[in-house]
Structure 1
């Protein structure tokens, strides 16, 4: 099936970087796939994901959700470090609330490419008007992310697709970090808005929840684990990740 272009606008950014006797039928083992065969399975899986994404972009039901990893945690808990480690993209990691909307990173293998290519797609250009200009003008990944600090919290998504000859098909979503209080000039409903955005993603039973927690935070009271437990009470699809080991204190 040939790939169809996205219905929304997108911009290309600079590349980052003697035969044995057969056992009885009941004992028959499935053959191990060769490397070539596994590569074919990856491409088939990738094609399914891309078709689902296109269906969603054309207004198809969201029941066609893509299996993905979703990163949740408190603000400044180290979520961006996890996203960077998984995607190999450099995201800002300062103490400002730079993640103000869902950032979805699609890793896609394309053997026809000689190097990695990054494509940015804005889900709603009206909500991301400033970001869209940054993408089209400086043509840099850093410009896209840095400009996010000047936008309001949004339930729309910035989608980044990284294609290359050695990429493994994977979808990762970084969400705005949880906050308990607001500062002067901020919307008092901001904590609830952020919580609603996170719940929208983690309620999907196909989602693997990466719950990021700092070492100096009590695991029994952390917001990430409590939010995950609401939709995954048995913890079958929740993976806690402890960050910032330098903050650990004995006693």
Structure 2
């Protein structure tokens, strides 16, 4: 499989800052942040599945616009995979006819533009021999990470999370793990803020990485614009067996 980073920033405010959106091959999105907006219509039409980690705006900002752009051009509904709790949030606060139309009922419920597919923690979906499995994480709203398995290799994306022992165990249970994309949203001087908002900072990330028994390449995402260099410097100064690198928009990971 091939994963293309459409966006991995923790916010906007820079020419290259696009929020979280990862394109697996050319037909699966992991989250649907502002990076999706850079894709041409032909590329948007090839997307058949969106796996949402959680309902925070930086991870779903382009989801309503994606469905509006391609809905009537598709032969089948766009399938959005998310936990039941996240689907309930999307229905109540986005696709509620006030913020955006309910495309799961348009043009009619028998043949909608959007289909929600609930996925439970630990559950996997097979898409043409590619398996995507929801993993446990810890955030301020219901959330999951995802493991992508090509059959030849694996990639784990944490989404937004604080330290989570269950996530560590899930990562260590991946014998063919090539890549781990994991967040670090705040510098260490904002450790209390990171803990309160259930994100990682460099010292918390190093604690998590020290417990890994696998040896994937580590890619750090969700860095706040203006703070990326400081966060990465603190991560580098922490040492450890693994050597994390900053994830970059446009980067392609194969596994």
TM-score normalized by structure 2? 0.31
Write 1 or 2 for the structure with the bigger share of strand.
2
TM-score normalized by structure 1? 0.31
Work out which of the two has the higher radius of gyration on C-alpha atoms and give 1 or 2.
1
RCO (CA 8 Å, sep 6+): is it higher in 1 or 2?
Answer: 1
